[in-house]
Structure formats: C-alpha cells, structure tokens
Structure 1
C-alpha cells in the first residue's frame, strides 16, 4: 500500500500535490488547495511543482511550460519526509505568487525577525546579508524599532522577536534595542556570531539585557571556520565568548550549528558532548544543513546538498539501537490547549509546513544526552499522534463549555484542567516507560520512585530530581533548512509563521516577508529604508513613551 497522499506511477511514487492539501488535512473536509509552485531550475520562472518519490528519495518536479519538466533533489529519506508530512493537521491555502512585499493575506507572525544592521565583524564568504554584498550600510534609528515593537505588541499571542543582521552586536545601542522590545512585553532573541562576546564586560552587558542569545558555533575544527567563516582564528574568539557566557548566572543561550558534507558532518558526537557540557546555560540547539545559496564566482566552495533528513540521520547515528524519528516543528508547536493546561506556552511555530523545520528532544541523565526514545515504549511520532487527538478533543470541549453556563462553571472551579491533566496522564502512561526515569535497579529503583513522590511536593524538585532521577534536563534540537531558490515552495511560504518584519515610512505600512524568501527581497527593501533614513534630519525629541511591560 502506498502512503496516504500518494499514487504509484510506473514504479515511482508521486505525491498528489498540488491537490493533496485540504483544510482539516483530508480530502473530504474542505476545498482543494491552490497549486504548489517552485522555481524552474533552468529559466527561474515560478511554475507548478509536485513531489516525486524515487529510490527512497524525494524530488521536486517542476512542470515548466518553457523548459519542460526538471527536478531538484529535496530529501534523502522518503520515509522520514513522509512521516512528518502525514502528521500535518492541515491548512487552508489561498495561493502564493511570492509577491511577499505586497502580500496582504499573510498570517499573523509568531516569530518575527527584525534587521538591526547589515554591518558585520566577519566576512563569511557564503553570506549574502552584509555590506559587501548589499553595497550600502543599513543602520536604522531607534524610532524604527519603536514602531515595529509597538505594532507587534498588539498580537495575541505576542510574537517572539529575533534581532538579526549583519551582526547585531556591532551596534553599540543593541542593549537599548533589546530594552525597547522588552518594554513592549516581547520575548527577545539576538542572533550573533559571538565574537564581541569575547569581551567579558560587553558579554555581561548583553546577558543582563535578558536577551536569549543564539550563538553560531560550528564545532571545534579550525578548518571548518577557515572555509566557511574566512579565518581559523574565529574559533579562538568563540571559545573565549563561550567561557564568558558560562561565567554569567543569567545567560540564556542556544547554539546554531551549520553542518556541511566533508567539513564537519562527522563531528556531531563531539558536538553533543560540547552541548552537554554547556547544559547549564543551554536552552536549545539549531542544526542547519548547508546548501549553496551563493554564486560560484562569489565563493568557489560547492558542497553537495545536505537535506533536513540527512541531519536527522546523522543525529540518529549518534544513538545506535534507537529509532530516532523527528516531528515537524509545526506539529511540535500545535499543542496550544495542552500547553495552556500545563501552565506553559506552546512553541512559537504553530502552522509551520510539515517539511520545513523538524524537532527532536534529547534528555540528559547527568553524564550524557540520551534520545527521548530511551524513555518511550513507542516512538516520538506515535506519541505525537495521540497528543494531536487529545489536543483536538480538549479544544472542542473548551469551545462547547464556553457556550454554556454549566461549562463556564466547570472551567471556573478547575474541572476542565483536572480532566485535561487526567487525559494527558493516560496518553503519557500509554507511551512512556516510567521505570527508566528513576535511578537504581529492582527494589532500589522502586525506592527512588517512592522517594521522588514523597519529597517532590515538599521541597525543591530540582534537588529531588538530581538525587533520585535519571532525567536531569532536556534539550530541544531543531533542524533549520537553508532554502535556496531551487527548493523554495509556495506552500511553505504561505504557512510560514517566521517572518522578517519592517516598517516602510513612505507607505506607512508594516510588511511581513517569510524568512525563507527574505533573500529575494532584502537588498531592495533595506536599500530603500537606508536611503529614507539617511535623508532625514536628526530628531531632537525622544521616542514616544512605551507602555509598561506586560
């Protein structure tokens, strides 16, 4: 039997895109989606595209009226690719022509990138976001950010802000920009190469701003930095920055690691040990498979395409004996109702396309990271399937209870939360092997479990966990695909909750451009903004007073 959403065609398997995606995720539940499109590999026109499965791999087949059919290699594992695709809760497409600057129907952002500069203290040969490529400098005034943050503060839920560049830390007023965002209640992240954090005083200043730092770190191999960052000396500065971050009690860090065939693809075991050593300050890891987004005349390096599923397999190879299966990040972010009853916020990537970012969870036993599968009797996708069913039931129940006086009373006295937690425990019991979460063997394991239950309500759970449990901390692993033009798809862009946001003073509008199509527009957009602000006389008055932090 072919997988759902597939038809067999002459021994190859072709996904029935562009008509497979329906509102609600099934053919009987809505109107067929509009045609999925991608860029022709030969002429560059936007043309209809389908997915084709052949020899266990996935390809994007472009139906170009000028050039005929041509295809781009998309995934090294059809099994992993389709597992995530078949879990998709569904989406109602309206159609996308990649006219992102003037798009009027893009959904509200949940993760907003804000460009603060295009200057940088590195000159990475593969980068297309800096002054060298743009040919001008972009450094908007604080009022530019004030307008953006004030605008984003009206959304519910509030989006997470990611300050982007260039290199944000080259702006001396970066702490002020972070303070502006936080004044509007916005969770703020800073994407940085980390070089300026090698200065301990500056590192302390940025950490005290309470920004979450996403620091690029490609492993401990100097040759990798020489090739990708232009100098092997970069590694020594990053090491000093990491030492400084570990001195700071309030540091919140995620590492962004670019992986490339032949450079550092064999380094994941060493990287996992590094991440584990950093776990006091570490909140997540982003793994980015390198694809060529530059022209050959700009940078002679031409790596073989690395796909999302390649990185998934590289991580799985670090844990022999386990079937490490990833979720799509959209599914991992889908549990808004369950998160509400747990008193937590869902991940900010709700609605992401199933074949964009992927998600996995590692668990520290105090000595090393183990895959979450170590604690599961099923698999992470099977666990997620049951959670999706529970999420659907709880959401429907909340909607029913909100319409009746008895239901509103039940919610007020906590019955809704009790029922939700009971349902969640049933799902967890079905999938987890609880015995593996406690130290000891035999009767000793039972004693540790009873001691945890007895002491947890009356003392510090963190101390109880350290003494009695093998589960010490968790690490989110997210794979971020670098999308070049040949694999850019309109169905991904239309669903993207991660956007670059800017305010255009001449037209008085805020614009949202999906992060994966930003490369196609950023040079023109930032040039127009730079020209506008450079032409304005300096203002003496202070920015408008912001509301109190939420």
Structure 2
C-alpha cells in the first residue's frame, strides 16, 4: 500500500449544499483530505483521516475480488424514484439507495432537559414542537417492519425521549411490531430520578421490552459536562447506572461525543469506568463531533477529529491494550459472518453493509483465566477467519430448503419430516463451519468454547452468554457538509422514519436527514411551541418535574443547577 490514496467522489458545497465533484487525496503529511470547489463559493478543504496508512488498509480489497471491506447489501424496493436532482435531495428512500435499513430511528419528541450547543433537535432552538402521537409512532414501526427486508432494531431518539410519560408504552409497541432490539438514545433523564422514581421508570421500560440504553456519557468529570452540556451532570449519570442496576437492566452502551481538546482526553476514563461497571455496561461508542452550520476554516481545523484520531487516542490512553494496527476493523468486516450465524439460527440478520468510512469497532472480552479484559483479536487470526466465512457464505446462501417428503407424501405429514431434514442439514453445515474456523483460533479455552456455542447455536441466549462480561467499543463518525461523501449516504443503514401529514412515512438516511432535510421536514409536521403549549405540557405530559425540563439548561425553577 505504498501508493498514495486518491479517489474521486461526489460531495456538496458546505455553503449552498449544491452537489459538486470532490477528491479524496493523501498528502505528504500522511493524512487524507477532501478537496472540492463550488462555482459560487470557492474552494474547500477538510481532513478525512489523520492516518493515511490505516485509511488505505480499511479500503483494502484482494485483486481476485474474494475479499473487500467495501460491501454492497440487499436493498429494499424504493419508496420513490430519483428525479433530476439526485442524491441527497429527493431522499425518501429512492432507487439510488444501495443498502437496507438495519437500525430504524424515530424522534419521539424534540423536548429536552438540556441545551447542548451542537444538538440538531431541540424545541427551544427550533421554536416548534415535534412530538408524534402513539398512532403515528406505530405507523412508522409498521413501515420498517413491513419491508421485504425488515429492520431488526429500533432506536427512540429526540430531544430526550424519556420526558414522555408514555415512553414505556412506546417500548411495548416496538416488541408488538416484531423488533428484536429496542434502544433509547438518552441523556438518562427518566432513569436518573431520585427517591425511587428512576428505579420505577427503569423497571417499567425493562418490563415493557426496552433492551438497551444508548447513554450519553462524555466522561467522569463535571468540568467536562459543563463544557459539553452546560451543567454538572456527574452525579446525574451515576444515578442512571445505580437505578438501572437495581431494576435488573443490564444493557447500557456509553455514547461519547468527541471534540478535540474538549472530550478526547476522557476516552481512557470512559473505557475504565465501563470496565468497572461491566455487569451492566455492554459497549462504548465514540462519536467524533459533526460540524454542522457555518464555521470558519480555522475553527474547522481546530475542532475536527477523525476516527483515526480516536483510535490513536484510545491506544495511548489504554497503554496499548487496544492497538490501531491490530484491533480495529470497519463495521462491514463481519457481514458474511453475521449472515451465517443468522442463517444457522433462522433469524433475521443485522446487515452492516454501510460504507467502510462510517465506523470501526473492536471487542474486549473477559479472560476466564486472568479475569481481566483483553482484546478479542488476541485470541483469533481475524482476516483469514473472515475470508473463510466469506467463501463459506457464498456456498451456503445457494442452498435450498428440502421439500422431498412434502412432494412424496403430501403437506400434512411431509412438512414435519422436511423440517427435521432441514434441521439436520443446518447442524451438519454448522459443524463443518466450526471445523473450518478452528485453525484460526490462537488461544483455545473457555472463551473459545463460548464463541463456538455462538456458531453452533446462533441464538440470542448464546450471543448473550458470549457478550456478558464483554465490551464492544466502536467509533462512528457521522457526516457534515464539509466532509460529506454521497456514496456513504447511499449505503447508510441507519434511517429516520417520519410520520407525514398525508399518512405516509418518510424514510431518510441519518446523515442526509440531519444535514439537509430535517428543517424542511419538521416544518411540515411540527406545531408552534407557544407559552400555552408549555403550560399544557407541564400539566398533562411532563408531571411535577416539568419545571426542570422545559427550562432546558439543567437548572431548577429557581435557576439553581440540577446535579
């Protein structure tokens, strides 16, 4: 990979959002930049990756085409046909989209108890209220589950979703509609309430089907939260974990927005705190800040942090426990492996067929002998194992279910016999696959026994057994107008669903919606946020805590900071 990286792409002008040509180019400082020129607004340059060697490796593909991190998924039928404007302006979804939705998002409210300065969805900033009814939320759920390739997971976003008193009911609806995983993106408001209220809320959500908290977690110091959220929130964050633990809620993912010289120094602290709470914390997602809105080039250069910066910072702050050149792989790496596991278990697969630039992940696992967390990549030889899985999947996906006995003796008795025959066939295929991956296991033992059970059983119980005491760590860099790559948008697997006034559902990729179409869409569905509306919300929706919520600043009704 000595040749310098160069790629021509389509992007947008950060000023007028017009579609323009761009190039990704490696420079002599061993970094990759995006260059683009708008006929009206001039030239633009931004950093894509601070580590050209790692960036080139994540775009690696064998010459014979047998292996690549760049993977195309199966797309659902489009909801509309692209017009002359093309991507991203007629999204909804159009026929240009190349991947199916794996994670559906619904903004259940844009009310929030905080006013984070980089948030894109806040009632106080927009002046309009976006809060769909239960019927509208169910309509969006049905939209995603009725597709030929249905979304497996759903995330409730905002605003702060847990300011809704009916939030546990929304969780229940998700399971009624068939979602395997229900997640809430939250700053912890409903779960942190003192005097037993947070425990009751966590228990109600857990009992009604909520699986995971995607928990805003910027660090372990109040000084950090004052910079990012405008309030001292450390005790607030600790109460969330205490109440969830007491309620038996054992799946929390820390989510940290990383900005250079603001939160990046907390990365090691967050990992250690997750390890200290490994009984209920399942993962950490670092999100390099997206720079939406007008910003000078000097400020852009000062604030920009890339996935590569995050990975190097983690290596430094963990004293090499997680290494850039060993432990981090694009999310697309496990596509075929995941399809195999789902096929074995007869489950719907979660497809990570996004663009390789979208995110990177690694796994830390509890070593049964030393009782310490180690990188999972110490136990396996990953690339050969993945290449084997890719080739194996190509053969498996062509296999047909047997209907031999049905044809021979009829539907009533034959179907049962065919079911048994197909079960036996899957078991034999699984056994051959397990034998095939054994040469790539470097450290046998109890951990590899659990890994083998995931392969052989392929069910949620086996996956949970392997995940318990393990820590998934990822870095996901969402796009902004400066670094926007239209190919990434076309491959997005995280889609918003918006209930429209005409009874339809607008489905839009995450980065497209937040950068280009959110404001216009919300004008069509929002109602004006008036003083009377605030009063009605206090009386009918939010309950006695409303005075601290609607002020949006982490202060109580007397203006004192809320811990």
Query: How many angstroms does 1:419 deviate by?
Result: 4.1
Q: In 2, are the aligned partners of 1:339 and 1:346 still within 8 Å (CA)?
A: no
Per-residue CA deviations over 1:143-201 (Å, capped at 9, x if unaligned) read 11121122222134443111110110111111122222221122321110003311223
- Give the direction of change, closer, same or farther, for the CA distance of 1:435–1:90 in structure 2 (3 Å limit): closer
Find out whether 1:484 has 2:480 as its counterpart.
yes
Other-structure match for 1:512: 507
Q: In 1, are the aligned partners of 2:218 and 2:266 still within 8 Å (CA)?
A: no
Other-structure match for 1:33: none
Q: CA RMSD in A?
A: 3.6
Other-structure match for 2:328: 326
Query: How many angstroms does 1:215 deviate by?
Result: 1.0
Find out whether 1:40 has 2:13 as its counterpart.
yes
Task: State how 1:399-478 maps to structure 2 within 5 Å.
Answer: 401-402=400-401, 412-435=421-444, 437=446, 473-478=469-474
3-state secondary structure, aligned to 2:477: coil
- Give the direction of change, closer, same or farther, for the CA distance of 1:325–1:521 in structure 2 (3 Å limit): same
3-state secondary structure, aligned to 2:32: strand
Per-residue CA deviations over 1:76-112 (Å, capped at 9, x if unaligned) read 1222222222223543999852114454324542211
Task: State how 1:49-198 maps to structure 2 within 5 Å.
Answer: 49-54=22-27, 55-65=29-39, 70-86=44-60, 87-91=68-72, 96-105=86-95, 106=97, 108-155=100-147, 156-186=149-179, 187-198=181-192
Other-structure match for 1:361: 363
Other-structure match for 1:259: 258
Q: In 2, are the aligned partners of 1:499 and 1:512 still within 8 Å (CA)?
A: yes
In 1: Cα distance, 2:308 partner to 2:479 partner: 14
Query: How many angstroms does 1:217 deviate by?
Result: 0.9
In 2: Cα distance, 1:171 partner to 1:42 partner: 36
Q: Flag as ranges the 4+ runs of structure 1 deviating above 6 A.
A: 92-95, 408-411
In 2: Cα distance, 1:159 partner to 1:510 partner: 18
- Give the direction of change, closer, same or farther, for the CA distance of 1:64–1:350 in structure 2 (3 Å limit): same
- Give the direction of change, closer, same or farther, for the CA distance of 1:533–1:119 in structure 2 (3 Å limit): closer
Per-residue CA deviations over 1:336-371 (Å, capped at 9, x if unaligned) read 431135428576343211111222111122643211
Taking structure 2 as the reference length, what is the TM-score of the superposition?
0.75
- Give the direction of change, closer, same or farther, for the CA distance of 1:43–1:122 in structure 2 (3 Å limit): closer
Taking structure 1 as the reference length, what is the TM-score of the superposition?
0.77
Query: How many angstroms does 1:392 deviate by?
Result: 2.1
3-state secondary structure, aligned to 1:473: coil
Query: How many angstroms does 1:118 deviate by?
Result: 0.6
Query: How many angstroms does 1:403 deviate by?
Result: 8.7
3-state secondary structure, aligned to 1:315: helix
- Give the direction of change, closer, same or farther, for the CA distance of 1:294–1:65 in structure 2 (3 Å limit): closer
In 1: Cα distance, 2:15 partner to 2:94 partner: 30
3-state secondary structure, aligned to 2:55: helix
Q: In 1, are the aligned partners of 2:330 and 2:356 still within 8 Å (CA)?
A: yes
Q: In 2, are the aligned partners of 1:365 and 1:472 still within 8 Å (CA)?
A: no
3-state secondary structure, aligned to 2:482: helix
In 2: Cα distance, 1:207 partner to 1:294 partner: 37
Query: How many angstroms does 1:493 deviate by?
Result: 0.7
3-state secondary structure, aligned to 1:202: helix
Q: In 2, are the aligned partners of 1:324 and 1:373 still within 8 Å (CA)?
A: yes
- Give the direction of change, closer, same or farther, for the CA distance of 1:419–1:274 in structure 2 (3 Å limit): same
Q: In 2, are the aligned partners of 1:197 and 1:241 still within 8 Å (CA)?
A: yes
Other-structure match for 2:519: 523
3-state secondary structure, aligned to 1:312: helix
In 2: Cα distance, 1:484 partner to 1:305 partner: 11
- Give the direction of change, closer, same or farther, for the CA distance of 1:64–1:294 in structure 2 (3 Å limit): closer
Tell which deviates more after alignment, 321-330 or 280-289: 321-330
Find out whether 1:237 has 2:218 as its counterpart.
no
In 2: Cα distance, 1:142 partner to 1:344 partner: 31
- Give the direction of change, closer, same or farther, for the CA distance of 1:531–1:418 in structure 2 (3 Å limit): same
- Give the direction of change, closer, same or farther, for the CA distance of 1:282–1:344 in structure 2 (3 Å limit): farther
Other-structure match for 1:202: 201
Query: How many angstroms does 1:312 deviate by?
Result: 2.1
Other-structure match for 1:375: 379
In 2: Cα distance, 1:174 partner to 1:110 partner: 22
- Give the direction of change, closer, same or farther, for the CA distance of 1:372–1:435 in structure 2 (3 Å limit): same
- Give the direction of change, closer, same or farther, for the CA distance of 1:301–1:395 in structure 2 (3 Å limit): closer
Query: How many angstroms does 1:290 deviate by?
Result: 2.1
Q: Alignment length, in residue pairs?
A: 475
In 1: Cα distance, 2:15 partner to 2:132 partner: 38
3-state secondary structure, aligned to 2:397: helix
- Give the direction of change, closer, same or farther, for the CA distance of 1:337–1:302 in structure 2 (3 Å limit): closer
Task: State how 1:211-226 maps to structure 2 within 5 Å.
Answer: 211=210, 212-226=212-226
Tell which deviates more after alignment, 193-202 or 340-349: 340-349
Q: In 1, are the aligned partners of 2:144 and 2:150 still within 8 Å (CA)?
A: no
3-state secondary structure, aligned to 2:345: coil
Q: In 1, are the aligned partners of 2:354 and 2:492 still within 8 Å (CA)?
A: yes
- Give the direction of change, closer, same or farther, for the CA distance of 1:71–1:383 in structure 2 (3 Å limit): farther
Tell which deviates more after alignment, 234-243 or 302-311: 302-311
Tell which deviates more after alignment, 430-439 or 164-173: 430-439
Other-structure match for 2:228: 228
Q: In 2, are the aligned partners of 1:362 and 1:476 still within 8 Å (CA)?
A: yes
Q: In 2, are the aligned partners of 1:100 and 1:512 still within 8 Å (CA)?
A: no
3-state secondary structure, aligned to 2:310: helix
Q: In 1, are the aligned partners of 2:5 and 2:32 still within 8 Å (CA)?
A: no
Per-residue CA deviations over 1:428-458 (Å, capped at 9, x if unaligned) read 322212346579xxxxxxxxx9xx99xxx9x
